[in-house]
Amino acid sequence: MILDFEPGDKVINPANKNWGIGQVQSIIKEKVTVNFENAGKRVINAKNVELEKVENNE
């Protein structure tokens, strides 16, 4: 499995949209650490949760 994320990327968790936009902090194997604006720092297992990248359209 190849993750298309790198530290600094903005993402959302489609299953928990109320977490808001998160910024990828680190990626170790399938564990992605994301700091969400409404939920704080979360470690996401990318095998179980599909994060969606937020494109920078500003």
Domain boundaries defined on the chain: 10-48
Task: Taking the CA atoms of 46, 22, 6 and 33 in sequence, report the sign of the dihedral they define.
Answer: negative
Look at residue 28 in the predicted model and tell me its pLDDT.
94
Q: How many Å apart are CA 23 and CA 12, to the nearest integer?
A: 9
pLDDT tens digit sequence for 7-49: 999 999 999 999 999 999 999 999 999 999 999 999 999 999 9
Q: Please, what is the end-to-end C-alpha distance for the chain in angstroms?
A: 30
Phi, psi (degrees; rounded to nearest 5) at 12? -125, 155
Look at residue 56 in the predicted model and tell me its pLDDT.
66
DSSP-derived 3-state class of residue 16: helix
Look at residue 19 in the predicted model and tell me its pLDDT.
98
Q: What is the pTM of this model?
A: 0.88
User: DSSP assignment, residue 36?
Assistant: E
